[in-house]
């Protein structure tokens, strides 16, 4: 077993992650601005007039190893990064930053979505979910008529 030098900043970073998790779970969310914790997939979520789009970066993961669940307004993406064959002995590593094992990421989505019509596409390590908005949530253009001007214009044309 190799000796590992003690790094107080690494310990402080771990303590901060624990405190962030504690505060995040204790207080109600006022906004959905969040950052992925180490080991969780990074996401972009945006909307168009007709749909909500979620893009999750999942490098090195096979589509068969990803599970997507939408329950109400909660989206959960779970999966597992498998280490594969061990070709290098543990003690021969100089640096090891890639993470292996199970992961899970849960985010809250806006309401009024047709989650049963979600389209999921996995391409180049990016999972893209396209969730259509419910008809009630889609913007509707309403033409405004000005009654007084329409009637005055019609009377002027009739008089001529």
In a domain, 74, yes or no: yes
Residue 136 has what pLDDT? 78
Residue 90 has what pLDDT? 76
In a domain, 10, yes or no: no
Q: Which residues contact 116 (CB under 8 A, 6 or more apart)?
A: none
In a domain, 60, yes or no: yes
* CATH number, position 133: 2.60.40.790
Closest CA to 117 of 27, 63, 62, 50: 50
- DSSP reduced 3-state for 67: strand
In a domain, 137, yes or no: yes
- Full residue range of the structural domain in which residue 146 is found: 40-87+95-159
In a domain, 21, yes or no: no
Residue 30 has what pLDDT? 44
Residue 99 has what pLDDT? 76
Q: How many domains is the chain built from?
A: 1
Give the Cα separation of 81 and 88 in Å (integer).
Answer: 18
Residue 121 has what pLDDT? 95
In a domain, 23, yes or no: no
Which residues does the chain have with pLDDT short of 70? 1, 24-39, 84-85, 137, 149-160
Q: Which residues contact 108 (CB under 8 A, 6 or more apart)?
A: 29, 32, 73, 74, 75
Q: What is the dihedral of CA 7, 11, 12, 14, to 10 degrees?
A: 140
């Amino acid at each position: 077993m190799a000796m590992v030098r003690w790094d107080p900043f690494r310990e402080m970073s771990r303590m901060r992650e624990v405190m962030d998790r504690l505060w995040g779970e204790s207080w109600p969310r006022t906004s959905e601005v969040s950052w992925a914790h180490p080991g969780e997939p990074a996401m972009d979520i945006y909307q168009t007039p007709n749909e909500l789009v979620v893009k999750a970066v999942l490098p090195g993961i096979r589509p068969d190893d990803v599970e997507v669940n939408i329950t109400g307004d909660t989206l959960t993406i779970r999966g597992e990064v498998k280490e594969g064959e061990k070709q290098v002995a543990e003690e021969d590593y100089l640096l090891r930053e890639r993470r292996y094992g199970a992961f899970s990421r849960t985010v809250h989505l806006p309401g009024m979505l047709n989650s049963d019509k979600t389209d999921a596409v996995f391409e180049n390590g990016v999972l893209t979910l396209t969730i259509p908005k419910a008809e009630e949530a889609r913007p509707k253009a309403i033409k405004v008529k000005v009654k007084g001007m329409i009637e005055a214009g019609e009377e002027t044309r009739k008089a001529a």
